[in-house]
Structure 1
Amino acid sequence: MILLRKGKEEDIESIQDIAYRTWPHAYSNLITNEQIDYMLKKMYNKGELLSQLQQGYTFLMAEEDDRDLGFAVFSIIDSANHIFKLHKLYVLPETHGMGVGKLLINEVVNLAKRAGGVSLELNVNRENKAVAFYQGAGFTVKETVDLDIGNGFLMNDYVMHKPL
């Protein structure tokens, strides 16, 4: 049985491991290996993840038989308008199709609703097959953005939105 638990500092190495195992699978036909390496180092270094925990981001871990299968990270981004953002959702490639991502996204939705959220947003690469996953979870495209992330790299994303 897949269980969800709140992530904490002790989970950082597992989060990094899942990201480093998942990103090449998810993005190798969308962005260069150089951009994958740059983004992983920028977004998944211990200092950045610790900072997110300290800022109150909620980390959720999915596990089965004491093995971490995936994670999600979300936070409130606009407290005046009660808007939450899903920052990260990744599951190990060998677990795709097992419902891990669906469990994680449903729990993020439930927790954001309980915290008074009225909408949930996320960014996803426009060419990523995860767009269909998020549409199936009730998200729609709000806007198209090209974000400069430094080092000459852009993220070509959809901002997707789901009313809660």
Structure 2
Amino acid sequence: MLTDTSVLIKEVTQNEISDVLSIAKATWEPTYREILSKAQIDYMYEEIYTATAVEKQIRDQGHTFLILYVADAAVGYASYSLREDKERVYKVHKLHIHPDFQGQKYGRTLVGHLEKEVKNRGARMLEMNVNRYNPAVRFYERCGYQQAREENTPIGDFWMNDFVMYKELY
């Protein structure tokens, strides 16, 4: 748990899932409307961001969700898990900051906290998939992430066209 006078980052429990979903609702469509079709946005949102889906990600897929609060307002969240196919490599599955709080260093705060948390768990590398057309690619590059490769992954009738990005954790 990270705290200062107004910032708190904690692991999500059942009590905070509604806060995660509230931030997701505010960020999902604005983030992807210039990148993906409306049909793909709606499909992916319904697959990933229901209370049941988030609970399943935590319970069955081993995802750890973090939530960032500023002065008791839910501002951002991230999720990660250990990659079972790669030793000491963790994967970021999600990281979103509410649009009203973007550009105020909260994304960098959340990324930094997430990196420390997985490093404390023994990680040597953190990786993530980022849509190739998402402006957040530049944010992650500024945070020290590099592009490893391109990856096209089917989801339903759609494709996710991503960069796989990574950062060595020393």
Do they fold alike, i.e. is TM over 0.5? yes
C-alpha RMSD of matched pairs (Å): 1.2
Residue 2 of structure 1 and its aligned partner are, at CA, apart by: 2.0
Who is 2:117 aligned against? 111
Structure 1 CA distance, aligned partners of 2:87 and 2:100? 38
Counterpart check, 1:124 vs 2:130:
yes
Counterpart code for 1:23? W
Taking the TM superposition and a 5 Å limit, the aligned residue runs for 1:79-94 are 81-94=87-100
Who is 2:160 aligned against? 155
Structure 2 segments unaligned to the other structure (5+ residues) = 1-5
Structure 1 segments unaligned to the other structure (5+ residues) = none
Who is 2:82 aligned against? 76
Who is 2:139 aligned against? 133
Who is 2:101 aligned against? 95
Counterpart check, 1:26 vs 2:44:
no
Deviation digits for residues 5-58 of structure 1 (CA, Å, limit 9, x no counterpart)? 111111111111111110111111000111111101001122221122224322
Taking the TM superposition and a 5 Å limit, the aligned residue runs for 1:2-21 are 2-21=7-26
Counterpart code for 2:98? L
Structure 1 CA distance, aligned partners of 2:132 and 2:114? 22
Normalising by structure 1, report the TM-score: 0.95
Residue 78 of structure 1 and its aligned partner are, at CA, apart by: 3.0
Deviation digits for residues 104-148 of structure 1 (CA, Å, limit 9, x no counterpart)? 100111011110001000000001000001101111011101110
Residue identity over aligned pairs, in percent, reads 33
Normalising by structure 2, report the TM-score: 0.92
Secondary structure of the residue that 1:78 maps to in structure 2? coil
